[in-house]
Amino acid sequence: MAAAISIQGLTKKYVDVWQKQEVVAVNNLNLEVQEGEIFGFLGRNGAGKTTTIKMLLGLVFPTSGDATLLGKAMGDNAVKSQLAYLPEETYFYDSMTAWELLDYYGRLFRIPEPERSRRVQICLEKVRLQPDAWRRNIRGYSKGMRQRTGIAQALINDPKLLFLDEPTSGLDPIAHAELREIVASLKDEGKTVFLSSHQLADVEIICSRVAIIHRGKLLTTGTIKDLTAGERTEVTIQGKAVANGLLNRLQAIAPDTERISTDTLMLRTDDDDQITPIIDLVRSAEARVISIVPHRRALEDVFVETVRREEAAS
Amino acid sequence: MVAIAIARQTVREALRRRVFWIFLIVAVFLIGLGPVLGFLTPKESQTIMRSLGLAVILLAGLFITIVTCIYLIPVEIERRTIYTVLSKPVQRFEFVLGKFLGGFAIVFLSVAAMGAVFLALVYFQTTAVGPDAGVIRWIFSGKVPDDMIKGVILTFFQMMLLAALTIFFSTFATPVLNFFMSFFTFIVGNMSSVTESLTTSRQPITRFIGSVIHYMLPNFGNFNIQNAIIHPTSTISNENVFIRNNIVYAIIYSAVLLILAVIIFDRREV
């Protein structure tokens, strides 16, 4: 399978003139996204996700590094006819109707009539925007309707590669679920989606692979299955001995042990073989095991662990 | 053509702005006030109406052009609508050209609207017979002096040049800074007889600064042929050639400004 996006050493540095400081927004990013996959691009606010997308689209210029989109250099106008972008916030011309907006964007893609009108209708139907809203000013739209219009404008050129920046944020549960379905359906049409999102539950459902970026640096990348592999077990312990050094002895076996109240500890371990020695230790200290709960690792756990580990290391 | 689509969208957005309509309506009202003021001093009624009309077209055109054009590019960046435009197969020069064409259309519409009202009033002021002699005879008995038409046309090209200048500034300056820069350049550019005198100064520094200002800044003063005070020593041997040259000057200067705007905007991150 060919790479839809291939990023090599992409770096973006800004110079803060007032503080005479260099800010690294994206740091030597290397990444490949295969054609036909929905790829999750995860990171905290300010991690460099939007800057990366803007560099790929030619809106900002990289300090160093390079990338290709669908086999052509990023920013190349020829490849843009096969791309689509939905920015983080849906900023549109409020005085236009959804139909007029899509017609305008269709013109920018040089789509002739009557094909343009046909495409507008298909896109508005696909995102399930109510037909009575098609000819109403966007100014009066709800957040969900704006987001649907945003996705519709991204589909006007029937793109091969879509960059979606937080397409489901701030929506009510029904709109959220519907838009997630729409994004997921793009994979069935053979489109590649580069999805930047904080909605990790969504990403876990619809993405095949993800990358986690922090302070501009790529921390990890892999399939959801690989990243979330392995169960974690949470053990809750209670007793007076907690105050008498039990915490330290447990941390020697399971480092991820923390005090959650004066007489209660919680520990997490990936290794099932550790459970028996832990129980033995707790009993010998005359404390009680309150619960032992196995947990499947969620993408959120992986994300939090990965980012925290990086923050602790730096 | 992509630039035309952007221009159409630009006109649409600009026409939505209340400030445009306020300037235009006040200007048309003031032009319409000309004949009333003329009645107060019957002997100079024509002079008052014509001077007032051309001055109002110039001033309203100045404010409409600057206030409209300073926002054309920055508002797209500020509202981030530019993301969905430039991420499409739109070259940056097409974007700048589309914005200029949109601004140009607004300038044309406003000067044309004010000019039409003004020339209509001038026309009816010159009618040879009154309405009592028959409406048809009255309507066809007027005449618009060539000077008035030329005055309106030159104001239009002056505003076109100003629109290009303002769009050029908007590729790197904030709207507030752009307002003052455009306004200042327009004022200085209108004082061409003063800046020209600086080019022959005995002081080398004054001569240098005067030359830079006189030859680098657009010469807006040349478009004000009706104002003899600004050009006391000028004698125009062939008015048609002078007007044609000014129009060519405005077109070439605007083209150079747009090329510079594209060069700057091409390197700008959004």
pTM comes to 0.85
Q: What percent of chain A has pLDDT over 90?
A: 60
Summarize pLDDT for A176-202 with one digit per residue, the tens.
Answer: 999 899 999 999 999 999 999 998 999
DSSP B69-95: HHHHTHHHHHTTHHHHHHTSS--HHHH
Quick check: B232 pLDDT over 60?
no
Per-residue pLDDT band for B229 (boundaries 50, 70, 90) equals: very low
The token pair that represents A258 in the structure block: 């923390």
Q: Which residues of B touch A104 (CB under 8 A)?
A: 5, 9
Residues in CB range of A202: below 8 A, 6 or more apart:
A168, A176, A180
Summarize pLDDT for A231-253 with one digit per residue, the tens.
Answer: 778 889 988 767 667 888 888 88
Beta-carbon contacts below 8 Å between A and B:
69
pLDDT at B22: 95
pLDDT at B48: 80
Return residues 91-110 of B near A (CB < 8 Å).
Answer: 91
| Other Cβ atoms within 10 Å of A289 Cβ, number | 15
pLDDT at B137: 75
pLDDT at A239: 83
B18 touches chain A (CB under 8 A): no
Does residue B37 sit in helix, strand or coil?
helix
**Element spanning B235, H or E:** none
Give the pLDDT mean for B211-218. 88
The answer to whether the CB of A192 falls within 8 A of the CB of A35 is yes
Q: Which residues of B touch A60 (CB under 8 A)?
A: 269-270
Q: Which residues pair with A267 in a beta bridge?
A: A235, A257
Give the pLDDT mean for A32-41. 95
Give the pLDDT mean for A291-302. 87
Quick check: B228 pLDDT over 70?
no
pLDDT at B8: 95
Residues in CB range of B76: below 8 A, 6 or more apart:
B82, B85
Give the residue from chain B lying closest to A60, CA to CA.
Answer: B269
Quick check: A26 pLDDT over 90?
yes
Per-residue pLDDT band for A106 (boundaries 50, 70, 90) equals: very high
Number of residues in chain A: 314
Does residue A2 sit in helix, strand or coil?
coil
- Give the C-alpha separation, B97 to B100, whole Å: 5
* Greater model confidence, A11 or A311: A11
* Greater model confidence, B138 or A234: A234
Q: Which residues of B touch A196 (CB under 8 A)?
A: none
| Pick from B254, B210, B215: nearest CA to B96 | B254
DSSP B177: H
Mean pLDDT, chain B, integer: 88
The token pair that represents B162 in the structure block: 């100003």
Give the pLDDT mean for B69-74. 95
Q: Which of B5, B89, B270 sits opposite A104 (nearest CB)?
A: B5
pLDDT at A119: 97
Q: What percent of chain A has pLDDT over 70?
A: 98
Quick check: B116 pLDDT over 70?
yes
pLDDT at A1: 67
pLDDT at B64: 96
Interface with chain B: mutation pick from A108, A157, A158, highest number of B CBs within 10 Å:
A108
Quick check: A262 pLDDT over 80?
yes
B268 touches chain A (CB under 8 A): no
pLDDT at A169: 82
Quick check: B231 pLDDT over 70?
no
Give the pLDDT mean for B127-152. 78
- List of long-range contacts for B238-246, beta carbons under 8 Å, 24+ apart: B239/B150, B243/B150, B243/B153, B243/B154, B246/B154, B246/B157, B246/B222
Does residue A20 sit in helix, strand or coil?
coil
Task: Judge: B84–A107 Cβ closer than 8 Å, yes or no.
Answer: no
The answer to whether the CB of B218 falls within 8 A of the CB of B189 is yes
Summarize pLDDT for B8-17 with one digit per residue, the tens.
Answer: 999 999 999 8
Span of B14-28, B59-73, B100-114, B225-239 with lowest mean pLDDT: B225-239
Residues B249, B251, B252, CA angle at the centre, nearest 5°? 65
Task: Judge: B84–A85 Cβ closer than 8 Å, yes or no.
Answer: yes
Distance from CA of A146 to the nearest CA of B (A): 13
Task: Judge: B270–A59 Cβ closer than 8 Å, yes or no.
Answer: yes
pLDDT at B135: 73
Task: Judge: A60–B89 Cβ closer than 8 Å, yes or no.
Answer: no
Distance from CA of B91 to the nearest CA of A (A): 7
pLDDT at A214: 95
Distance from CA of A211 to the nearest CA of B (A): 23
Quick check: A257 pLDDT over 80?
yes
Give the pLDDT mean for B226-243. 67
Mean pLDDT, chain A, integer: 91
